[in-house]
Chain A
């Protein structure tokens, strides 16, 4: 990349981040149709068709005009999570705690998956759905387990929709989810800078800044991103109430979402829900910058490989064999 091009790129980022109006400017520039789309989003957001109290309308109004999470001050972050908690109470009558824990210093999260051990039980998938409040109506899942023929290592050749007793003899199982690439093409694709990599390596989405254009999904070479077609319907008694702004909080309709390494858990030292649920211990998670961590042991002592290594996306998700 030439330095001139780099400068250009930099200005665009600054434009988008610092001028609140440029998100709309982008849409205008891209196409009139898209601008119309954005208007529709705005209208739906502010729609007063349902009876809402003045207090709720005020909160929604303030929510609509907030900044991108990345340039919010700590005070603004605290304000928005408080607003969101109050809105959850008003709209759905649920008591949620939305955190905004910052990344832990000297931590870079990494993940390893043992393809010799996984037996395809998919308990990780159900745990993830529950933890991250995924839409039950469309059966959204961040994790996909592929049943693979021996010798194959590309999940696209496997069966991602099996339903029979597992493990099947002579098959093996391979999990895929967002790999939190160090050089993530999805981030470059986003026209509104609604998705980025946090210092602890987690690739996140600001659900309020996302316009639902799905460019990032098209750019992801893996099976990382999920588009939220619905309202995220979760039975009230099943809602995970410990949430994070960048994690499992309620997503507005028409936004992009994906695995966040359970940011609401892992920033507090807990394991992601999938790791905790895995009955075979195929999932290893930890701090890549800790030479004594389990993940580093795997990287040092096991034969590891990553999916589509050659395209240079540098996923922080390694497969390994015993």
Chain B
């Protein structure tokens, strides 16, 4: 099962209500055979922009991040269910990127003068295979006995 991160924003409400809300949210994941690995509480804070949902304008929210392992098919289902939940004002799901080997920094090669950079050399190579519009001259020995374009 791939790992997902559910970034959830709950409306402003007392702690006991928030608790039941979180239980409801996690129960929906368990019902679809998912596993919650971690719940992070990022706190109650003002949103950088107001959000309107379910007919109300919200300027503050309880921020939570759920780290979930679940089937890919279940994600769309969960999103649809949460969108109907009145207490959730915003939700985003991101797939967790697997830890890839961080390649070496290429800043040194990028700081070279253009002629020494690999991507520029590639561009020059491509440019040489094409007709240069600025230096192209019509050849009069093309078989036509007149100049085909406007002079």
Co-assembled chains A and B: no
**A residues near B, CB below 8 A?**
none
**B residues near A, CB below 8 A?**
none
